[in-house]
Structure 1
Amino acid sequence: MAVYYSRSAEVPIIMEALTNILDQPLIINAALSLAGFILAMVVLPRFYPLFIKAGLFGKDMSKRVPPGKEPVKVPEALGVIAGAIFLCIMFLFIPIPFWRSWVVDGKEEFPHHEFVEFVAALLSICCMIFLGFADDVLDLRWRHKLLLPTMATLPLLMVYLVNFGSTTIIVPKPLQPLLGPALNLGLLYFVYMGMLAVFCTNAINILAGINGIEAGQSFIIGLSIMAFNFYELTRKYPESHQFSLYFLMPYTAVCAAILYYNWYPSKLFVGDTFCYFSGMTFAVVGILGHFSKTMLLFFIPQVFNFIFSVPQLFHFVPCPRHRLPRYNSKTDKLSMSYTKFKMKDLNILGKTFFKLYWILGLIDVRQGVGEDREYVECSNFTILNLMLRIFGPLHEQTLTIILMVIQIIGSCVAFFIRYKLAGVFYDVVE
């Protein structure tokens, strides 16, 4: 006996299956992220000639060059392509978390505040990608690099003010007898969040200069925050951490692709665009995901490098335009780079920092340099030079691996502080 099935009976089954898929936004986001990774792997090499033709290229000075030949031109600022792919993924993903509220619950139940957060976060990241590319093309000054992230963060801060407005922090136990259990920082809290965005974007940019270092540190930070988010999904406020994962999974996917091509020997340079894009993405998820203090823990190596670099960044000690390690073509290794100055030209802060770092063994110092022997040379104040001082001259890839290991150790320390040490200072962990 023949059995006939009506196609109309299949429609509810298909719709139910489609509904079940749409109700899993993290799975859809992961699928789009995988597609973004594949797209980036395919597309990035195809833009090499276009960027070189436009004059957006650099010369990798830490590689051996055959006699009579020029260093190979490496396309620069390819971070803008990774950023564009990320934005395409996020634009396609926008309807997914909100489809049920619109289709099933109706307009009255639509979570407008969550939608505004989502769009404002994308706006800040999009602005930062644009401004970062402008920096790559125009080579802006450092004061502009501090101003640009501040401007790009304003939409984010306005959304936080309208949707949440909470500026109260929990006071650590030792300070509670003096300040009470909680403290309202008011405007200072927004200043902190603005400074957080400035720090994130520039901290990655400062720790740069060798193949794979910018993309590598960003990739590890992204994975670390994702691990934190996935763990927190089973605890309090899962919505905030789900929001964070919406952004971090596509970001980490395109970051993995660009790391593949930026690893030694680098076929592309990521440019300031990628550093700004990465920093703003981390700032966005930290601020709107309500774990800005925890997020900062994953930047322990960057915080150390920034503090270590302060004397040169603020010109208490002379700062050359490039503080990259020196390349020795005979040994194919990197060694410390130096800055030269006269001690009498330093102000009191410069002399204090110089002597402190010298006493602590953080810098290498050469006295009596120059014809008049009045000059002093010291290694530049970066964590890259510090590693070369500790381990001696290293191959570029070895130095990158050491910094990646330090970044992983920093993430492990961050998890220890967050889940073991925080209970000593707080009754409720953030």
Structure 2
Amino acid sequence: MLKVFILSVVLTLILTVLFSKKFIPALISRKMGQPILEIGPRWHKSKEGTPTMGGLFFIAAIFIVGILFSFFVFPKEDLPRVWITLGMAAAFGAVGFIDDRAKLLKKQNEGLRAYQKFLFQVIVAAAYLFLMTLYGGLDTKVIFPFLDKTVDFGIAYYGFAIILIVGVNNSVNLTDGIDGLCASVTATVAAFFAVCGFRLPTLLSPEHASDPTLAVLAGMTFGACIGFLVYNWNPARVFMGDTGSLFLGGMVAGLAFLLNVPLVILVVGLFYVIEAASVILQVGFFKLTHGKRLFKMAPIHHHFEKCGWSEPGIAAFGILLTAVIAVFSYCFL
């Protein structure tokens, strides 16, 4: 199992680096540069023209390795949940692709309207849950992490799950605002799920059985993120775009459901939650106070920037916070 896991990491990492090196010049020549918000930090204007939609590189890498492993690695009985998970992530990535293309065509940092994106996301989440119920062994019981408590939500489970999936998807998307942040935090989250795949937490398996399929899918996600960081770490030579961030949001949500503890993503992915919460609080405070701001800018990584933090420093903080919470989560789950 360890050799297969290492292979999954290495293959996706190498393929992502190769695709990035090969196709970044093509994105530049096609003038697929990221439009920059006028209201953002002024130093972000120097990023104007940096190619976007680089998420296509690691999506391709994950799918190539996924297809290869479907023939030689994944147990036949696990193929439905593997491809339903990858399919959900790809569908979210497609929503991001449409959004990115709209931004490029309009030459501004606004693509799909918020309600359009939300509607697409709800449809994708609902389709995922429908297929997982039919072919992936999904049931309506929710395990509450750290409480050793399971509650059967019945039909209400699907509403809860759609809200969770779409919420996680958008939270990961919000995290992709500075160089290397989304990929590095997501790599850390994926590492947590990989460890769980090797040795399931006590809550799920007192005898600490393993889930090789979960470990390998998490390994593919980890390798893809690390490979992308070669070109996305500050100063970034390519951005993943909504294509990449929505895909990764789908992957981490899918990994949480494969672990059968979907709520754990709100704990191990606390950095995502903080990013989303900062936006909600900022908007709410702005409306309640008729124009005052709670943060200098939201999401909160921009607040940190305006407080003088460097982009690598913010990314390092995201990695450290996520790693500490991941260790805590695994030990006490």
Is the shorter-chain TM-score for this pair beyond 0.5, marking a shared fold?
yes
The alpha carbon displacement at 1:125 in A equals 2.1
The one-letter code of the counterpart of 1:81 is F
1:197 equivalent in structure 2? 165
The one-letter code of the counterpart of 2:87 is L
Contact preservation (8 Å) 2:185, 2:315: no
The alpha carbon displacement at 1:119 in A equals 2.6
2:118 equivalent in structure 1? 146
For residues 92-119 of structure 1, the C-alpha deviation after alignment (integer angstroms, 9 at most, x for no partner) is: 11123467x7xxxxxxxxx4xx332223
Shift in alpha-carbon separation, 1:123–1:214, aligned structure 2, 3 A: same
1:119 lines up with 2:83 in the alignment: yes
1:207 equivalent in structure 2? 175
* Rg larger in structure: 1
In structure 2, what is the Cα distance between the partners aligned to 1:224 and 1:352? 42
2:223 equivalent in structure 1? 253
Contact preservation (8 Å) 1:243, 1:289: no
Bigger RCO of structures 1 and 2 (CA < 8 A, at least 6 apart): 2
The one-letter code of the counterpart of 1:289 is L
2:127 equivalent in structure 1? 155
In structure 2, what is the Cα distance between the partners aligned to 1:170 and 1:43? 39
Unmatched runs of 5 consecutive residues or more in structure 2: 37-41, 103-110
In structure 1, what is the Cα distance between the partners aligned to 2:44 and 2:276? 27
The alpha carbon displacement at 1:182 in A equals 5.6
2:3 equivalent in structure 1? 27
1:232 equivalent in structure 2? 200
Mapping 1:73-84, distance limit 5 Å: 73-84=49-60
Contact preservation (8 Å) 1:243, 1:285: no
In structure 2, what is the Cα distance between the partners aligned to 1:255 and 1:239? 27
1:219 equivalent in structure 2? 187
Shift in alpha-carbon separation, 1:167–1:63, aligned structure 2, 3 A: closer
Higher relative helix content? 2
Mapping 1:171-186, distance limit 5 Å: 183-186=151-154
The alpha carbon displacement at 1:168 in A equals 3.0
2:260 equivalent in structure 1? 290
Percentage of matched positions with identical amino acids: 18
1:55 equivalent in structure 2? 31
| Greater displacement, 214-223 / 397-406 | 397-406
Contact preservation (8 Å) 1:206, 1:306: yes
In structure 1, what is the Cα distance between the partners aligned to 2:256 and 2:72? 22
Shift in alpha-carbon separation, 1:27–1:305, aligned structure 2, 3 A: same
Contact preservation (8 Å) 1:233, 1:242: no
1:384 lines up with 2:301 in the alignment: yes
1:45 equivalent in structure 2? 21
Secondary structure of 2:211's match? Answer: helix
In structure 2, what is the Cα distance between the partners aligned to 1:59 and 1:162? 42
The alpha carbon displacement at 1:157 in A equals 0.8
Shift in alpha-carbon separation, 1:127–1:169, aligned structure 2, 3 A: closer
1:307 equivalent in structure 2? 277
Mapping 1:244-393, distance limit 5 Å: 244-312=214-282, 315-316=283-284, 346=287, 350-351=288-289, 363=295, 379-387=296-304, 392-393=307-308
Contact preservation (8 Å) 2:275, 2:299: yes
Shift in alpha-carbon separation, 1:384–1:279, aligned structure 2, 3 A: same
In structure 2, what is the Cα distance between the partners aligned to 1:351 and 1:83? 43
1:396 lines up with 2:330 in the alignment: no
Shift in alpha-carbon separation, 1:190–1:240, aligned structure 2, 3 A: farther
In structure 2, what is the Cα distance between the partners aligned to 1:279 and 1:73? 25
The alpha carbon displacement at 1:161 in A equals 2.1
Unmatched runs of 5 consecutive residues or more in structure 1: 1-23, 66-70, 102-110, 319-345, 364-378, 420-430
Aligned-residue CA RMSD (Å):
3.3
The one-letter code of the counterpart of 1:403 is G
The one-letter code of the counterpart of 1:277 is F
Higher relative strand content? 1
Secondary structure of 2:50's match? Answer: strand
